[in-house]
Amino acid sequence: MLVHRKQVEEILEGKSLDILPVSVEVDPSNKCNHDCGFCAYSSRRAANNVHLSEEILMQLVEDVGEKGVKGMLFTGGGEPLVNPFTVSAMERANELGVDTGLITNGGMITDKNLTTIVNSTRFVRLSLDAGTTESHRIMHEPKNGVKRDEFRYILDRIRDMVTHRDAEGLETTIGIGFLVNPTTLHEVYDGCKEAHFAGANYIQIRPIYDLPQTQQTIVREQAPNLVRKQIERFKGEFKDSALKVHAHFPRFADLYANHKDYARCESHPLIGVVGATGELYLCCQHKGTAQFSYGQITQERRFFDIWEDKVVRSGVAESIQLGLCPPCKYNDMNRLLDQMKGEGSEQRAAHFESLKKGTIQHPNNL
């Protein structure tokens, strides 16, 4: 977050509704080729099983590029590559100088779209969420009677993407997402090994939220230790591996406690969130909830018409009740903003300086 100094300083000065988002996250589709039992968006997807139209998707990309928004993330909702216009939208965003990212389950990456995906993105994160074919089947369950070994298929596509990137001298970061629940808890080592052999740049290990209580207890109590041990084993056995292993251990407890120990949510204006229905939302956790929609993007009322409507946006922001917010990946950002609000200019500057020394890193845009 601290790389976006201008926006952070504006938030700290109380001008949060004046800022240009640092990134726009879009769900090109609510449809999905997989059917993950853990998917946080499954009920919202079922209620609105739609794609974003080509007109609105391409208009959004043009608007984001023209305004100079730094990044655009294609995610879901459902599977972004189910929308037939996603790849050309990413291509156009890249042409406009926007740092483009894709989060995908990987099952719809083909020989035909693979090179364009790599050429057009700064990062692709593939949600693998397993260390073996068997667990991948339990976790992701491909739809439409797909009989192939989806786990191996995705790893092969990762390898192909890495090969293409290196042959072309590109810098696209290709990473793997690995969600932890009782099915995958003991497969972190296997996941790291597969990621290493596929040539991925990183594997990001994080807990599933929305787990039943008994599973939460298992993950909260066992995951930090078990995950750490498996990472150590991998690092011990693969000393020369270039794979970066990211595991944010405090999140394993923090997520389920869902303790909002900050006064306000100040992070939401950093990111514009567009759902597959074309609604612009307060944040991705509240995506699909009418109360937190700023309004629907149309050809007449475009993204920035809504974004710059401070009356509507402040009304929605005022309705945030932190105690009712779901587990949220922006806790760290909100804590830091809260802390910085109470600090003087020297202390604030020190946070930005610490970044220059390379102490704070994140694989994606924020």
Ligand X SMILES: C[S@@+](CC[C@H](N)C(=O)[O-])C[C@H]1O[C@@H](n2cnc3c(N)ncnc32)[C@H](O)[C@@H]1O
The binding site for ligand SF4 (CB under 6 A) comprises 32, 34-36, 39, 41, 76, 78-79, 105, 127, 140, 265, 267-268, 282-283, 285-286, 320, 322, 325-326, 328, 330, 334
Shortest gap between Cβ of 32 and ligand X (angstroms)?
6
CA distance 58 to 85: 8
Q: What is the DSSP letter of 134?
A: H
Report the residue number, 165 or 268, with the smaller CB distance to ligand SF4. 268
Q: Which is nearer to ligand SF4, 208 or 245 (CB)?
A: 208
In the bound complex, what is the minimum distance in angstroms from residue 42's beta carbon to ligand X? 8
**Residue 209 interacting partner from ligand X, ligand SF4, none (CB closer than 5 to 8 Å by kind):** ligand X
H and E: helices and strands count for the chain = 14, 10
Nearer to ligand SF4, 76 or 288 (CB): 76
Closest approach, Cβ 312 to ligand X, in A, equals: 26
Q: Which residues bind to ligand X, rule: CB under 6 A? A: 32, 38-41, 75-76, 79, 103-105, 127, 177, 179, 208-210
Of 50, 91, 55, 49, which is closest to residue 74 (Cα–Cα)? 91
**β partners of residue 271:** 23
> Which one of ligand SF4, ligand X, none is in contact with 286 (Cβ closer than 5 to 8 A by kind)?
ligand SF4
Kindly write down the DSSP assignment for every residue of 11-52, as one continuous string. Answer: HHTT-GGGSPPSEEEE-SBS--SB--TT-TTHHHHHHT--BP
User: For residue 295, which amino acid is it?
Assistant: G
268 binds, among ligand SF4, ligand X, none (CB under 5 to 8 A by kind): ligand SF4
Strand, coil or helix: what is 172?
Answer: coil
Signed CA dihedral, 216, 218, 224, 228: sign only: negative
User: Rounded distance, CA 167 to CA 161, Å?
Assistant: 10
11 contact choice in ligand X, ligand SF4, none (CB below 5 to 8 Å, kind-dependent): none
Length of the chain in terms of residues written: 366
The site partner of 31 among ligand SF4, ligand X, none (C-beta below 5 to 8 Å per kind) is: none
Task: Sort 297 into a burial class: Cβ within 10 Å, 0-12 / 13-18 / 19+.
Answer: buried
Q: Are 18 and 10 in contact (CB under 8 A)?
A: yes
CA separation for the pair 278, 81 (Å, rounded) = 17
104 binds, among ligand X, ligand SF4, none (CB under 5 to 8 A by kind): ligand X
Q: How far is the CB of 16 from ligand X (least distance, A)?
A: 25
Residue 179 near which of ligand SF4, ligand X, none (CB within 5-8 Å, type-dependent): ligand X
Nearest residue (CB) to ligand SF4, 234 versus 330: 330
Minimum distance, C-beta of residue 141 to ligand SF4, in the bound complex (Å): 8
